[in-house]
Structure 1
Amino acid sequence: MEIATGQHEALALARRGMRLDVLFTRPERRNAMSAALNREMRALFAALADDRSVRLVVLRGAGGWFCSGGDMRERDQSLHDQAADPRVAARERNRLGGELFRAVNHAPQVVVAVVEGAAMGGGFGLACAADITLARPDAQFAMPEASIGVAPAQIAPYVVRRLGLSQARRLALTAARIDGREAASLGLAHHLCEDDAAIEARLAEIERAVRRCGPGALAGTKRVLNAASLLDDAAMIEFAAEVFADCVTTEEGIEGTRSFLEKRRPAWAGEA
């Protein structure tokens, strides 16, 4: 599936070589996660699943807001307007949110979330599913679900994996709001960026680092890392051996070994 750059209903996509910038374009709703945004994001990451020409995906929100979570107005309307059982409708909408977080988590590319303004609910989940999260010091992070009578059902696995069960419990069970500095201290955010210039500088640094890594190796590394907390030791040994063999016997793996032995940059890294 070809990735169409430009403005879509809820996203704007811009390609810069191996980097794809994904902008949420609902600033009037603080980039709340609508059905359209979910649908377009799932389609995008489905297209990226087999695309090794993209090695870095940057998620950011327009208007100084990352993502304020699920679109409450749309959700309420869908529960009352649909002829179907409202519980069935709620379950399906929530399940599709889970599919989105899973797609981001398992993307073969390096995914960076740039959090400005707020990352609430589903936005919090995206920040945890991303590989690297940048945050403004004054950004606000929260899981407010319990305070509005629901559970952070689909984001919970990614929050627990990022923060550990203890901190996930504290934040989820109190609907606590934390800023970017505390998010960094907890390991939710990896880098604090004071302004746009600092964000762009950090993204450029990440892009340079990612460029040194083979696209197939990035995909294989994410497969191993995602499996590490799910498989027992014996199964993990076998799975990791298969991934390693898949990598090292490809053209990319052979080129990587040769470039190391010949003390030169590998072909995928481009010119110095």
Structure 2
Amino acid sequence: MSDFSTLELIRDPRGFATLWLSREAKNNAFNAQMIRELIIAIDQIGNDASLRFMVLRGRGRHFSAGADLAWMQQSAQLDYNTNLDDARELAELMYNLARLKVPTLAVVQGAAFGGAVGLISCCDMSIGADDAQLCLSEVRIGLAPAVISPFVVQAMGERATRRYALTAERFSGERARELGLLAETCPAAHLDAEVERWVDNLLLNSPQAMCASKELLREVGNGELTPALRRYCEGAIARIRVSAEGQEGLRAFLEKRTPAWQTPASDKEPRP
């Protein structure tokens, strides 16, 4: 566990990290300190070669209530340039999370308002409780979801983003699944078990291949066919085939055995 005031970064011996938002008394609302600590934690995860993927969660009843009211009150007293610096810090967090080289999974329960929807959108995959409540709430307080908007549009589409950003309606986890913001939902009481199911499945995969696939899909984007993209994709499969894990995976498949990166169930460490 790393030394943070607003977060907990827990490295599981099976080879992944869980990054917990940990301001439970404030419903995990953002402030300047949490944003800065998230940037540092994400950088640590990106530089830790032992980690296969990251899970992003919130302690307590809520994933995150969005921006901290006291922090917003302070921001209202600042001039344009200081507010611009704050916006750049938030943007650094969102862009760094979106570009993290390892796969990311957000787990959503309770409320996820404002910038919290941005965090969810920046993750590669997200699951949540059926009864979670999500909201792009900025217009209710005279603001706009500016920094997070590109990521939200990518996650749930331009039309749906227009609706929920302009109306500030709350929508459920089930509705978020219909929009594509969440991949799957389940009853809140089953969420921890669902997280373990996702973790166990991700642990079956080649760590190197997951990172390579994430980089590949970033280059592919919306899939527009160009000569440059074709050459990139050809090179990507050639590189992964001759890599150590690519060779191990092919040999294990042909020899009908478990690849080296998979830990037999009997050898797993106890879960914390």
State TM-score, norm by structure 2.
0.89
Displacement of 1:79: 4.8
Q: What is the aligned partner in structure 1 of residue 62 from structure 2?
A: 65
Q: Which amino acid aligns with 1:248?
A: R
Displacement of 1:232: 4.4
Structure 2 residue 8 is matched with structure 1 residue 16: no
Q: Which amino acid aligns with 2:207?
A: P
Distance 1:95 1:232 in 2: 30
The 1:31–1:215 alpha-carbon spacing in structure 2 relative to 1, beyond 3 Å, is same
Displacement of 1:176: 1.5
**Contact 1:114/1:133, CA 8 A, preserved across alignment:** yes
**Contact 1:132/1:190, CA 8 A, preserved across alignment:** yes
**Contact 1:79/1:89, CA 8 A, preserved across alignment:** no
Distance 1:243 1:92 in 2: 38
**Contact 2:156/2:180, CA 8 A, preserved across alignment:** yes
* Structure 1 residues 165-244: aligned runs within 5 Å: 165-196=158-189, 198-229=190-221, 232-234=224-226, 235-244=228-237
Structure 2: runs of 5+ lacking an equivalent: 266-272
Structure 1 runs of 4+ with >4 Å offset: none
Q: What is the aligned partner in structure 1 of residue 84 from structure 2?
A: 91
Q: What is the aligned partner in structure 2 of residue 140 from structure 1?
A: 133
Q: Which amino acid aligns with 1:184?
A: R
Q: What is the aligned partner in structure 1 of residue 98 from structure 2?
A: 105
Structure 2 residue 262 is matched with structure 1 residue 262: no
Distance 1:149 1:127 in 2: 23
Distance 1:144 1:154 in 2: 14
Q: What is the aligned-residue identity percentage? A: 32
Deviations along 1:78-133, one digit per CA (max 9) or x if unpaired, are 452x6xxx111111211221221122222222212111111111101111111222
Q: What is the aligned partner in structure 1 of residue 268 from structure 2?
A: none
Structure 2 residue 114 is matched with structure 1 residue 126: no
Distance 2:139 2:219 in 1: 30
The 1:243–1:100 alpha-carbon spacing in structure 2 relative to 1, beyond 3 Å, is farther
Q: What is the aligned partner in structure 1 of residue 26 from structure 2?
A: 29
Distance 2:238 2:45 in 1: 23
More displaced stretch, 228-237 vs 179-188:
228-237
Q: What is the aligned partner in structure 2 of residue 114 from structure 1?
A: 107
**Contact 1:136/1:192, CA 8 A, preserved across alignment:** yes
**Contact 1:53/1:215, CA 8 A, preserved across alignment:** no
Distance 1:263 1:191 in 2: 32
Displacement of 1:184: 1.6
Q: Which amino acid aligns with 2:81?
A: V
Which SS does the other structure have where 1:269 is aligned?
coil
Which SS does the other structure have where 1:265 is aligned?
coil
More displaced stretch, 121-130 vs 182-191:
182-191
Which SS does the other structure have where 1:267 is aligned?
coil
Displacement of 1:161: 1.0
- Number of matched residues? 263
**Contact 1:52/1:216, CA 8 A, preserved across alignment:** no
Q: Which amino acid aligns with 1:46?
A: D
Distance 2:28 2:162 in 1: 26
Distance 1:133 1:248 in 2: 29
Distance 1:254 1:51 in 2: 23
Distance 1:177 1:240 in 2: 40
Distance 1:103 1:245 in 2: 28
**RMSD value over aligned CA atoms?**
1.9
Structure 2 residue 38 is matched with structure 1 residue 46: no
**Contact 1:146/1:172, CA 8 A, preserved across alignment:** yes
Q: Which amino acid aligns with 1:229?
A: G
State TM-score, norm by structure 1.
0.89
